[in-house]
Amino acid sequence: MADKNDVEVVIGGRVFTLSGYESEEYLQKLASHVSGRLAELNADRDFRKQPSDTRVNMVYLNLADDYFKAKKIADSLQEDIDAKDKEIYDLKHELITDQIQLDTRQKELRDLKAEVARCQKQIARLEEELSSAGKKQQA
């Protein structure tokens, strides 16, 4: 199991100690995101006029909005990946089927060429016999 990290971070100008099993960089990134969202909201004068519990809830709602929008994008990307994986699977299956058909047709072609060669030899033999029989009749 990974070691637990204690990291001091700054959120909204206040220092907090975060503890977690994630890396220090990750915990700093989380705090930076929250602090950034808080700064964006604090830039709005109407937001600053709200009671502190309302402001905190607005931050929560904004972070939840970020999460659900990111999750929607991630889910959509996963659906795209799944669809592409299925398409690749189908194409591979089709390729294998086509390769089997090609191999079968190539074998049939070889067999037919061999049959044609046998028939040509038989025709040549029969023509020779016919020619020999014709010469015997003329003699």
Rounded Cα distance between 6 and 14, Å, is 16
Give the pLDDT of residue 1.
65
The pTM of the full predicted model, rounded to 2 decimals, is: 0.63
Beta-carbon contacts of residue 32 (< 8 Å; ≥ 6 apart) = 9
Tokens of 90: 């189908």
State the pLDDT at residue 136: 81
The number of angstroms, rounded, from the C-alpha of 31 to the middle of its chain's C-alpha atoms is 32
Per-residue pLDDT of the chain (139 residues; tens, 9 = 90+): 678 999 999 998 999 999 999 999 999 999 999 999 999 999 999 999 999 999 999 999 999 999 999 999 999 999 999 999 999 999 999 999 999 999 999 999 999 999 999 999 999 999 999 998 888 887 6
Q: What are the domain boundaries of the chain?
A: 76-139
